[in-house]
Structure 1
Amino acid sequence: MFRGLMHRMANDSKRPDVKKKLFFLLLYFLAAVPRLQGQDLNKMLRLYDDNDGLNIRFLPTDQAYTNGFRLDLFYTKDHPDHFFLDRWAPKAGKESVQTYGWSATQLMFTPDSLTDYDYRPDDYAYSAALYATHSVYAFNPVKHYAIFSELILGVRGPAAGGEASQRFIHRLFRFERPHGWSHQLENKFLVNLNMRFEKQLAQWGPHVELSGGTQASAGTMFSGLSLYPLLRIGKMHNYYKGYIQQFSDVRPAKSRRPRVLQAYIVFRPEVQWVINNSLLDGQLKAQDPEDEYKTLTVNRPRAGIQKLVYGLNYGGVISLGAFGLSYMQNTSTALLKHGYSHEYGNISIYYSFR
């Protein structure tokens, strides 16, 4: 089928009308490049990976929340909002600086043992989610507060591709092969709305900032409430000047000002009240322990979720010009009542452009 498709495309490209369209499309693109470079719209690509193999104590694991991969495009714009979330999302006053974003994310949970073929009822279930996010981040640089809005649409279960992704990574790096994906949580549609508010509480010179924040989430993926302080220490732009500026030095297109180096550390302890988490509860099909040719439908009840979770995020950010790099470590108490505490690292790469 693939060869036939390529053959048809090759034949189509020989037709005069197709050649003419491709020629004018190329001319349009070449003419648009200078205009894009001269615009004041700032954009940033972010590539990040959560992984419990990234461990500051050099004690890597492969359990619980084991991996999260995300690709983001953030941008500002100088025209009216048309997308409904952009219009309805709360802004941060008349001085508000908005950053918009589109993201694709895949998350995975696994039990403590990947070599076990059997379902482990007292451990984290095999679970994966794949979803898209549209975000609006609004900052007030005068009154020093920010409002974050996120809309999530996606799927949990085999359709999220967790089995293929983990097996590919483990085969690539010659890790042990995971065997239990045959009894992962079933497919479920995910829709979620997350709202976050942050306000500066204190500032000691240009190098120390303390903010307080709260996040409320509601939907079929996750519902809950969290509270946290946010402490940044180092050489950095003010947090409330905008999101892209936190990881790059955004300058006017023809500015001759030298690039500014940012290097700072971040501490964010957090307490979270959890109502539901669809990556931990739901239905799955497991092998019948009395008959290997039969399967049982197992319901993992919401009652097994730990309602209060405590965590600590800490790490550092460094950026110069258009490029930024951050490393964060997360340590949290158990997400399940019969679970265990867990930690993972996050490494993120940022590239800003116009």
Structure 2
Amino acid sequence: MIIRRNKCLLVLLCLLFQLADVKRSFAQAGGPSYMFRVFDDDDFWNDLGLGTDKAYSSGEQLTLFYKSGHKPGFFLDKILPKAGDSSINIYSLGIMQLMYTPSILTPSYYIPNDYSYSGALVGKHSLYSYNAEKKYDLQTELVFGVMGPASLAGSTQRWFHRVIHDTAVPNGWGNQYLNSPLLNLNFNAEKEIYSNKCFEAVGNCSLSAGTMFDGAEAGVTIYLGKMNPYFNGMFGLYSTPFSGNGKGRKKAQFYFMMKTAGQYVMYSALLQGGLFAPQPMVKVINGYGAAAQAVYMVKPAQQIENFVAYESYGPVIAYGRFCISFTQTYSSPVLKNVYAYIYGNVTIYYSW
């Protein structure tokens, strides 16, 4: 199973780079035209020094970003909203795997009042459209994939725990939510609130609808340090472009970001189960000691918190073609009667 998953990822990478070659002749002039991003959310990366493996346990993503200097040929790209006639348009293709787990991994039985085992494997196609003059952008993302055993989240986590020789083997994936298709449309708009040479404040509002996540968000992100203007596009934020004579690069960028946001959540497939699948049968233990026995029951429905707040912060360093960022996210509980959680993110960018 793991070999098949690795082969699928290799094929995807080959397709992404072939796409980059096809579009190379249409790229906009000046600076890099392509960027590859390796993205890892993991609750082990937390700044409290207490690495965990629970709640939102992991989210890995591989993404290729590319500029397009011609009218898009793909029908979906034609209808995606742009930020004006002179907008900087950056498209992306990517794949992501996500997983949630309870706080105790070794039991094979269902653990109530905790996060359930849940995983998803999705593809993404996005447009980031920036208006550098009016200081705003529009971001549209189409997400498609599957949740449940078909996402291979359980296989991935068990494989990783074997690799690191961890004795806390996750044995409860038999209780995960069942297979269900995922299709979502996410839209985000950002607008500059204030800026000067070393400071930018950006407000955002977003909407999500589909079979994966339904909700809305509003927030503010602050950028502080030495950086290129935010609304010149992500390529300028995550790489240091060539200088005007093409013989050198600008000095490195180093800045700090902090985002505070609130969400109104109506539905989350990974927390409540898919729309097109029944609740799974889960293993529970009745009785105690020698009289204990395993029985199966329909998993009780979990109630989400409709109002969720989170804060993310961390440094970003960009030099030449490379960039690395490290962020921490603190989230309020997303399920009723369940704990809040923390996770970290490490992201590496390479531009060309």
Scaled by the length of structure 1, the TM-score of the pair is 0.86
Give the drift of 1:289: 3.8
**1:246 maps to which of 237, 245, 262:** 237
1:334 partner SS: coil
Q: Which of the residues 37, 47, 51 maps onto 1:56?
A: 47
After superposition, what is the alpha-carbon deviation per residue over 1:30-86, rounded to whole angstroms, capped at 9, x for unaligned?
xx89x8699847000000100000011101111100000000000001221122221
Question: For 2:124, which of 121, 125, 133 is the aligned residue?
Answer: 133
Within 2, Cα distance between the matches of 1:327 and 1:339? 27
Alignment correspondent of 2:151: 160
Rate the CA distance shift 1:293–1:59 in 2: closer, same or farther, 3 A: closer
Is 1:319–2:327 an aligned residue pair? Answer: no
Residues 130 and 233, structure 2, Cα contact 8 Å, conserved in 1: yes
- The runs of 4+ residues in structure 1 deviating greater than 4 Å are 35-39, 290-294
| Aligned counterparts of 2:234 and 2:293: Cα–Cα separation in 1 | 53
Q: Aligned partners of 1:113 and 1:199: how far apart in 2?
A: 42
Alpha-carbon shift at residue 164 of structure 1 (Å) = 0.8
Question: Are the aligned partners of 1:42 and 1:250 in contact in 2 as well (CA < 8 Å)?
Answer: no
**Structure-2 residue corresponding to 1:178:** 170
Gaps of 5+ in 1: 1-28
Q: Tell me, yes or no, if the aligned pair for 2:214 and 2:266 is still in contact at 8 Å.
A: yes
Instruction: Name the SS for the 2:158 alignment partner.
Output: helix
Q: Which amino acid aligns with 1:42?
A: S
Which secondary structure state, in structure 1, belongs to the residue aligned with residue 77 of structure 2? helix
Alignment-derived partner of residue 184 in structure 2: 192
Q: Distance in 2 between matches of 1:88 and 1:311?
A: 32
Aligned mates of 2:254, 2:268 — CA distance in 1:
35
Deviation at 1:213, TM superposition (A): 0.5
Cα RMSD between the aligned structures?
2.2
Q: Secondary structure at the match of 1:279?
A: helix
Matched, 1:298 2:289: no
Alpha-carbon offset, residue 226 of structure 1: 0.6
**Deviation of 1:259 (Å):** 3.5
> What secondary structure, in the 3-state scheme, does the structure 1 residue paired with 2:76 have?
helix
2:327 is aligned to 328
1:288 to partner: Cα distance: 5.2
Taking the aligned partners of 1:253 and 1:73, their CA distance within structure 2 comes to 26
Asked which structure has the greater CA Rg, the reply is 1
Aligned length, in residue pairs: 319
| 2:35 is aligned with 1:80 | no
Paired letter, 1:186 = L
Tell me the TM-score normalised to structure 2 length.
0.86
Q: Identify unmatched segments of 5+ residues in structure 2.
A: 1-17, 274-278, 287-291
- Report the CA distance shift for 1:228/1:125 in structure 2 as closer, same or farther (over 3 A): same
Tell me the secondary structure at the aligned position of residue 276 of structure 1: strand
Partner of 1:240: helix, strand, or coil?
A: helix
Alpha carbons 2:242, 2:249 under 8 Å: kept: no
The CA distance in 1 between the partners of 2:27 and 2:250, in whole Å, is 19
- Secondary structure of the equivalent of 1:251? coil
